């Protein structure tokens, strides 16, 4: 008797997520966000280097959003066969003589849907803000102030300031989930 191929019990291959960054925090956040939003689907996530088309340290809400959008477009060009493309861009802006930090998440799907969401916003200490205003990228400023090395690929500014109660991955995951709202509610217009 020959073995039968039982295609009913075979799982489909994981859906491919391309994250427009090689930062492990962003790749992990994208994968976790998708897995939480769609737990019955399996995903694989891989990061690729893509230009944002904006300064290394975006200094406004609009510039930061544009950076995330550009990353998605560039990732889609480089890896056109993926199921999803994710751009996560951190930025800062001036508000009432203080500097605040946030990030934008943009997600595009093979089906043409796009979602976007912004993280929560928090204020930076003046010591960090002074270095950023002088031209230093936030991650490098954090390393100087907190005597760290490459903190942006681990807990990030938010983790350093909250003593890891909220690290950079968790911080991004919520925005990934929010950016997936159009994908969860395909019968609605966004």
Cα-based distances in Å from 174 to 59, 87, 119, 149: 22, 14, 7, 26
Pick from 68-72, 85-89, 163-167: least confident: 163-167
Quickly state the pLDDT bin for 68 (edges 50, 70, 90): very high
Burial (0-12, 13-18, 19+ Cβ within 10 Å), 148? middle
Q: What is the pLDDT of residue 55?
A: 93
Span 44-64, pLDDT tens digits: 999 999 999 999 999 999 999
Instruction: List, for residues 121-180, the tens digit of each pLDDT value.
Output: 999 999 999 999 999 889 888 888 888 877 777 788 898 899 999 988 999 999 999 999
Q: What is the pLDDT of residues 2-23, one digit of tens each?
A: 555 555 668 889 999 999 999 9
Cα torsion 32, 66, 153, 173 to 10°: value is: -20
For the domain made up of 14-121+167-184, the CATH class stated in words is: alpha beta
Mean pLDDT lowest among 9-13, 37-41, 60-64, 70-74: 9-13
Tokens of 41: 């689907």
| pLDDT tier at 75, thresholds 50, 70, 90 | very high
Give residue 23's pLDDT: 94
Strands 43-47, 15-19: pairing is parallel
Residue 25's pLDDT band (boundaries 50, 70, 90)? very high
Residue 116's pLDDT is 98
Q: What is the pTM of this model?
A: 0.89
Average pLDDT for the chain: 92
Q: Two tokens at 155?
A: 């807990």
């Amino acid at each position: 008797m020959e073995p039968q191929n039982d295609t009913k019990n075979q799982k489909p291959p994981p859906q491919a997520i391309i994250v427009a960054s090689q930062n492990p925090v962003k790749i992990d956040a994208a994968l976790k966000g998708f897995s939480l939003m769609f737990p019955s689907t399996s995903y694989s996530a891989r990061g690729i280097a893509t230009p944002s088309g904006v300064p290394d340290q975006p200094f406004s809400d609009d510039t930061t959003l544009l950076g995330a959008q550009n990353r998605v477009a560039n990732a889609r060009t480089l890896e056109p066969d993926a199921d999803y493309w994710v751009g996560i861009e951190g930025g800062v802006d001036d508000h009432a003589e203080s500097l605040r930090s946030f990030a934008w998440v943009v997600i595009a799907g093979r089906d043409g849907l796009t979602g976007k969401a912004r993280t929560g916003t928090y204020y930076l200490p003046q010591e960090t803000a002074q270095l950023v205003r002088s031209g230093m990228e936030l991650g490098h400023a954090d390393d100087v102030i907190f005597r760290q090395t490459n903190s942006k690929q681990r807990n990030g500014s938010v983790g350093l300031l909250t003593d890891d109660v909220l690290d950079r991955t968790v911080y991004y995951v919520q925005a990934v989930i929010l950016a997936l709202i159009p994908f969860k509610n395909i019968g609605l217009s966004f």
